[in-house]
Amino acid sequence: MEIIIERAQKLVNRLRERNKTLSTAESCTGGLIASSITDIPGASNVFLGGMVLYATEMKLKLLGIPEEVFAHGVISSQMASAMAAKIRILTGSDYAISTTGNLGPDTMEGKPKGLIYIAVAGEDNIHIKELYLKGDRTSNKQNATLHALDELLKIVS
């Protein structure tokens, strides 16, 4: 977890230097990204807020994800992209990140354990990263969070 906090610190510093803001829409990471960021003193200057949308129907109800996105599955690049775009619009943040995936132990939607999608919505585009993690639920959640923070750092740089 210490490496996650280090990355979160670096991200908060970088966002602060650039006078940019961030929001989150998390499914499989269950709020760990937001929690890691808010562990950093001064995060309130850059972090506007986020949602944990674990149940499928919450993605529709609270974020208003279009029904056609659900045809690709909850575990899809299309869902990750839509989640990041929607939370960015709702909060008015400069950047938004979303996560969706299967932490395990079983397959979901016919998709394997460890398949995770991360999307970062910026001012001009949405960047998607697909991961295949090999650990248990806890390590997959932590690794997905670390990858998400790293993706944000690349884009915010």
Counting the structural domains of the chain, the total is 1
For residue 157, the model assigns a pLDDT of 80
138-155 confidence digits (pLDDT tens):
999 999 999 999 999 999
Structural domain that includes position 48 = 2-156
Q: How many residues does the chain have?
A: 157
DSSP state of 28: T
Q: Which residues of 123-142 are buried (b: 16+ CB within 10 A; e: fewer)?
A: eeebbbbebebeeeeeebbb
What amino acid occupies position 74? Answer: V
The pTM of this model reads 0.97
Helix axes 137-156, 2-18, angle to 10 degrees: 20
**pLDDT tens-digit map of 76-123:** 999 999 999 999 999 999 999 999 999 999 999 999 999 999 999 998
Identify the CATH number of the domain in which residue 16 sits.
3.90.950.20
Question: What does the pLDDT look like over 61-70, one tens digit per residue?
Answer: 999 999 999 9
